[in-house]
Amino acid sequence: MLELLMAGGWAMLPILLCSAVALAIVLERFWTLRHKAVLPPGLGAEVREWARSRKLDPEHLAALSTNSPLGAVLAAALAVRNRPREVIKERVEDTGRHVVHRLERFLGTLGTIALIGPLLGLLGTVFGLIRMFLAVMVSGVGDPMKMAGGIGEALVCTAAGLCVAIPAYVFHRYFRGRVASLAVEMEREVFLLTDELTAGSEIASNPGPARVALAAG
């Protein structure tokens, strides 16, 4: 394997560097985008219970905002719980953009590696072909070993670039889809909490009809 990599020439160095960076990003994103780390089980129901019981103090909100990405979004909604629904929605959207940006961390780099991998392989291919033609110019076509060296360098670089780019592209698309799925689940939890908060404010502002409705139920 080492001889095969060395046969690719100096162009293999950036390709190997890209492969190491891509591997590190993939492992880090797998760990960071775990479902239970982004959306801890039962957190949404627990926060809605806090809203019902009015057990909301700065310590609760501070702990919630650092708990997880979902906790940060829910804490943003609770911070303006006494405001109109439109204000809560705007605050959640602002916080949600920052949270999604953090979830997509390094994905741009992974996409760049998927893009430049074949280009680096093509660059190595071009240098390998140049080396082959220079060998032909110097010694003619009578020395097949020199020609084989240039062709081998070209083929190794092409294969290495594709071997890096294809998995990087697959994982890039996978993680983008995973972030989108997690964002939809967070949005659902925010909607449930917002309904809870606005329902509570409506009951507080209209106590008479609310008591009648509850009594009728």
Give Dmax (Cα) for the chain. Answer: 102
Contacts of 9 (CB under 8 A, 6+ apart): 124, 127, 128, 131, 153, 156, 157
User: Model's pTM, two decimal places?
Assistant: 0.79
Q: Under DSSP, is residue 156 helix (H, G, I), strand (E, B) or coil? A: helix
Residues 146, 147, 151: CA angle, nearest 5 degrees = 120
- Spatial distance between the Cα atoms of 122 and 104, rounded to a whole number of angstroms: 29
Report yes or no: 150 and 9 within 8 Å, Cβ to Cβ. Answer: no
> Whats the size of the chain, residue-wise?
217
The one-letter amino acid code at 72 reads A
Q: Under DSSP, is residue 57 helix (H, G, I), strand (E, B) or coil? A: coil
**First-last CA distance in the chain:** 75
Query: Mean pLDDT for each consecutive 10-residue tract of the chain (217 residues)?
Result: 60 89 96 93 86 75 87 88 84 91 94 93 81 70 59 78 94 96 92 78 44 35
pLDDT score, position 22: 96
Residue 70: alpha-carbon gap to chain centroid: 15
Fill in the DSSP letter of residue 83. S
Residue with tokens 């070209």: 154
Parse the chain into domains and list their residue ranges.
Answer: 2-200
